[in-house]
Amino acid sequence: MSRYLLIESQDSFSSNAVQEHVELAVALKRAGNEVTLYLVQNGVLPCRSGADGEALHEAVAAGIDVLADDFSLNERGIADRDVARGVRPAAIDAVVERLAASWKVIFL
Amino acid sequence: MAASLTIAIMDAPFENARTVTVFRLVQAALKSGHDVNVFAYEGAVGLSFARQAAHANAVHGRDAAAENHPLPRVWIEQLLGLARKSGRKLDWVNCGLCVDERGMGEAIDGVRRGTPADLWKMSVESVNSLTVGTR
Amino acid sequence: MKTLQIVETAYRATVEEQDDTIVWLTHAMTGAGGQFGMLLTGNAVCYAVHGQQVPKLTIGEWQQSHAPDLGADVSALVAKGVSLYAVEEDLEERGLRDAKLSESVTVVPRDELPRLFEEYPRVWKW
């Protein structure tokens, strides 16, 4: 079994691919892998509390660690208090740590 | 523990948010004490083009100096400096054929020309690698 | 180290480059000793379709000498030892379920991707 970091840079409002990416994350998790989803750029848009973040909720419910890039959140005016439950703001160091620890890191 | 990381990128400057994400990642990796290899493929070879020039912004009423427009070549120079000061290595390699077809032969000092074999070699010699494709 | 190349974006500058630049890159790295598998997903599943012919572009008096032949290029990767896969659901969505595909492509349902990923120490997505 492996450790996967999936970096999601797209948002579910503009791209159908995001749902498939979440399904991949969930499938990897269910297969017994450790999975983190790192949302960056417009990928953080569904994080805003009250947004239609169905795919996000699916990831959280599956036990995937969902992180949202703090720079991207700030850029889009999403304060920490406005981030949906289950999602943690994180610095990009979270990506570096996992790269250095030999996680399989995939930029989606 | 310090690691060597390889990142392959494709986006041309000024076109996509992925560029800033990558620069932030490289910076964070260097600051964390890792060595970083960057393989710039396709449009990304333009990031180190020496002739990037800042300009004014009349819409905002700023002259060139005041605008201080970001230039990726300056960012690369800064990261090369950061690597030097912290005793780390940043190896920035531009895909040579991509440079040729774009006429981007004038690159800043400190970057080098390479081939896909360099990407393979760097990645094999690294602890880990990440590819950031374009759309 | 065996690496799975995931190709999703298709027909991006392929006429201008006369290649898919990731398929080309994979060829070049294979020549340098790299070991790869290639997973076609999204629109890139179209590359698995046999017999595509891209017309040569003409601009003014300039005529293209070598239009891209993406199907042949992915098949040529197989000849170099690259395992080729295409996502089943992406083929279906694009009406390619019953298309004549390259003989060497393995069609993989999406729910088998975790198993496929585990076969490769590295996964690169472009």
User: What confidence score (pLDDT) does residue B1 get?
Assistant: 66
Say which CATH superfamily domain A3-107 falls into.
DsrEFH-like (3.40.1260.10)
Q: What is the pLDDT of residues A32-60, one digit of tens each?
A: 999 999 999 999 999 999 998 888 999 99
B124 touches chain C (CB under 8 A): yes
CATH of the domain at C100: 3.40.1260.10
Across the interface, do B21 and A93 touch by the CB < 8 Å criterion? no
Q: Which residue has the tokens 């949202």?
A: A68
* Residue B2: per-residue pLDDT: 79
Instruction: State the nearest Cα–Cα gap between B127 and chain A, in angstroms.
Output: 7
Question: Structurally, how many domains does chain B consist of?
Answer: 1
CB contact under 8 A, C111 and A17: no
Checking ipTM against 0.85, whether it exceeds it is yes
Are the Cβ atoms of A104 and C117 closer than 8 angstroms?
A: yes
Q: Closest CB to C28: pick one of B116, B123, B134.
A: B116
Q: What are phi and psi of B93, to 5 degrees?
A: -120, 125
- Round to whole Å and give the CA distance between C82 and C76: 9
- What is the rounded CA–CA span in Å between residue A93 and residue A62? 24
pLDDT digits (tens, 9 = 90+) for C47-99: 999 888 899 999 999 999 999 999 999 999 999 999 999 999 999 999 998 99
Chain B neighbors (3+ CB pairs < 8 Å): A, C
Look at residue A75 in the predicted model and tell me its pLDDT.
97
Domain region containing C10? 3-125
**Contacts for C32 with CB less than 8 Å, ≥ 6 apart:** B115, B116, B117, B120, B121
Identify the CATH number of the domain in which residue B96 sits: 3.40.1260.10
The count of CB pairs under 8 A between chains B and C is 42
- Domain range spanning residue B85? 4-132
Q: How far is C10 from chain A (nearest CA, A)?
A: 14
Contacts of C13 (CB under 8 A, 6+ apart): C21
User: Are B41 and C21 within 8 A, CB to CB?
Assistant: yes
| CA distance linking residue A84 with residue C83, whole number of Å | 41
Sequence letter at residue C93? E
Please count the structural domains in chain C.
1
Contact between residue B12 and residue B43 where contact means Cβ atoms under 8 Å apart: yes
Domain ranges of chain A: 3-107
- B88: nearest Cα among B16, B34, B25: B34
